[in-house]
Structure 1
Amino acid sequence: MNFDDLDAKMRVFETSHDFCVLPGVYMVARLDGRGFTRLTKEVHKFEAPFDERFRDHMLAVVQHLVGADFRVVYGYTQSDEISLLFQLEADLFNRKLRKLDSILAAEASAVFSLRLGAMGCFDCRISQLPNAELVREYFRWRQEDASRNALNAHCYWTLRKEGKSASSATNALKNLSRAEKNELLFQRGVNFNDLPAWQKRGSGVYWETFEKEGFNPKTGQTMKASRRRLKVDLELPMKLEYDEFLAVRIQEATNCSG
């Protein structure tokens, strides 16, 4: 068998299960850190429950993915996860899921590992969302998850720092309502509402337009030109204001060509 025939024969086994996202469907990638609980609490011992150094590592990954040529209009991160909203008609890798999953996970892992100075790995999966409302609900879901996780984490680590074991702290929080968890913290001098927004709501990375002043040597005049840059937002709004914020990001995704 010559090489061309062998090549054609073997490539079938690589591509027979290729699935592509249909045109006109929104794509949102979610990346999760693999074994990050052990990585951050035992191996590298970041401050619990939140550490600005870890936050900045995650934001560096998001900035890379949004700033690279992946056609991403909005990146969101909370804890050890990242969500990316692509342009509606983005056609990178012909919208093949296996390519999107593998390359996004690989680049995220590489950037994070270089920042950390040790290996940190991500997995990736793509949500295929048929309309803008589901995109909004997706990002509301992740932000509400961030809020729940933040409250639980602050309660858990408050009890751990008081000397409770991992199992005792976990059992103490079982069946407590959100209000009761807030009260647990308040009795210990912590007002959950006053904690940094990035801990409770996550952080965003997106493009913003700004005016840059320049000088035209031919006319001798000062001129202004519009430029784009990445904005890191540690003060994301919540609830209805976040819906309005998301509407802008979704409109950007809808209007951009692939």
Structure 2
Amino acid sequence: MDNDNFEKQMRSLEYFHSLRLLPGAWTVVRLDGRGFSRFTESRYQKPFDLKFHELMVQTAKALLEELQGIYAYTESDEISVLFNPDWDLFDRSLEKIVSISASIATATFTHAAQTIVNFDSRVWLAANKSQVVDYFRWRQADATRCALNGWCYWTLRKAGKSVTEATATLENQSVAFKNELLFQNGINFNDLPTWQRRGVGLYWEEYDKEGYNPIENKTVVAKRRRIKVDDELPMKEAYGEFMRRLINTGKVVQNPGNLDD
């Protein structure tokens, strides 16, 4: 067999190598920390740790920047990055997108934390803007649910309950029950930091950068872009409106104008 035919035969066995994202689809890449429950238990405070939060934000920022996304959202140990329908990095190769995004997240977090971790990655596709808004409202609802459960669970554990006892106490209980449990222990869930209850958004913003023009011998101002980390996201319908503005303009604006899907 000649070398060319041998090459073709071997490459034909590469699974999903030729699979591309659907043209014109909105794309979200979601990453999760692998085994982070065990990883964080002995290293970070529970239920939330500011240092871990900062590491996740730093990782989300690296993904947004390197993959050329328009928005990133992080809660707990997961990150979602949104891309426009015309995004064509890696020729929209699914194999490259999931492998490289996972490697960026893993390398960024590992380097910053000085501890080896792993992230996995998957792709979610949307046919229209409404589905994109629904996706991020879904992830924020998950953040709120997990935050409430986490605070309740660790409040019980710190009060002396075992894993089994704490889990059994919370099983099938209502939101009202959990809020009351926290209140009886001196914690008002609504007063906790917003980033814990709603997650964190990252997006591009324009700013004026002052410089000097030596030819004209004068100060000049140029428009530049940077990533804004938003720890005070709105929630529910207001968050949906926030996302509609963002995906229609590529940035957060005060007067969104026409927000047709």
Instruction: Give me the TM-score of the superposition, normalised by structure 1.
Output: 0.93
Equivalent pair of 1:71/1:87 in contact (CA under 8 Å): no
Aligned counterpart, 2:54: 56
Q: Secondary structure at the match of 1:29?
A: strand
Aligned counterpart, 1:5: 5
Does residue 170 of the first structure (1) align with residue 167 of the second (2)? yes
Quote the offset at 1:237 in angstroms.
1.2
CA distance in 2, matches of 1:41, 1:87: 37
1:179 to 172, 176, 179: 176
Cα 1:221–1:235, aligned 2, differ >3 Å: closer, same or farther?
same
Quote the offset at 1:152 in angstroms.
0.4
Cα 1:219–1:131, aligned 2, differ >3 Å: closer, same or farther?
same
Post-superposition Cα deviations, 1:100-144, rounded to whole Å, max 9, x if no partner, equal: 111111111111111221211011110111010000000000001
Cα 1:189–1:126, aligned 2, differ >3 Å: closer, same or farther?
same
Question: Amino acid of the residue matched to residue 248 of structure 2?
Answer: Q
CA distance in 2, matches of 1:224, 1:117: 39
Quote the offset at 1:17 in angstroms.
5.9
Post-superposition Cα deviations, 1:141-183, rounded to whole Å, max 9, x if no partner, equal: 0001000000000011001000000110111111221111111
Post-superposition Cα deviations, 1:160-210, rounded to whole Å, max 9, x if no partner, equal: 000000110111111221111111111111110000000001111111001
CA distance in 1, matches of 2:185, 2:14: 57
Equivalent pair of 1:155/1:181 in contact (CA under 8 Å): yes
Post-superposition Cα deviations, 1:30-85, rounded to whole Å, max 9, x if no partner, equal: 1011100000003xx210000011111111111111111x2201011000000000
CA distance in 2, matches of 1:55, 1:20: 33
Aligned counterpart, 1:209: 206
Aligned counterpart, 1:40: 40
Aligned counterpart, 2:68: 71
Equivalent pair of 2:17/2:95 in contact (CA under 8 Å): no
Aligned counterpart, 1:27: 27
Equivalent pair of 1:87/1:252 in contact (CA under 8 Å): no
CA distance in 1, matches of 2:202, 2:135: 16
In the TM superposition, what are the counterparts of 1:95-106 in structure 2 within 5 Å?
95-106=92-103
CA distance in 2, matches of 1:199, 1:247: 23
Quote the offset at 1:15 in angstroms.
5.3
Q: Secondary structure at the match of 2:70?
A: strand
Cα 1:15–1:184, aligned 2, differ >3 Å: closer, same or farther?
closer
2:235 to 226, 238, 258: 238
Question: Amino acid of the residue matched to residue 123 of structure 2?
Answer: I
Equivalent pair of 1:73/1:252 in contact (CA under 8 Å): no
Aligned counterpart, 2:259: none
Quote the offset at 1:248 in angstroms.
2.5
Equivalent pair of 1:49/1:157 in contact (CA under 8 Å): yes
Question: Amino acid of the residue matched to residue 56 of structure 1?
Answer: E
Aligned counterpart, 1:134: 131
Equivalent pair of 1:73/1:253 in contact (CA under 8 Å): yes
Question: Amino acid of the residue matched to residue 18 of structure 2?
Answer: D
Q: Secondary structure at the match of 1:14?
A: coil
CA distance in 2, matches of 1:18, 1:125: 17
Segments of structure 1 that go 5 or more residues without pairing to the other structure are none
Segments of structure 2 that go 5 or more residues without pairing to the other structure are 252-261
CA distance in 2, matches of 1:104, 1:48: 28
Instruction: Give me the TM-score of the superposition, normalised by structure 2.
Output: 0.92
Give the aligned CA root-mean-square deviation in angstroms. Answer: 1.6
Q: Secondary structure at the match of 1:159?
A: helix
CA distance in 1, matches of 2:151, 2:36: 18
Q: Secondary structure at the match of 1:207?
A: strand
Q: Give me the identity figure in percent.
A: 49
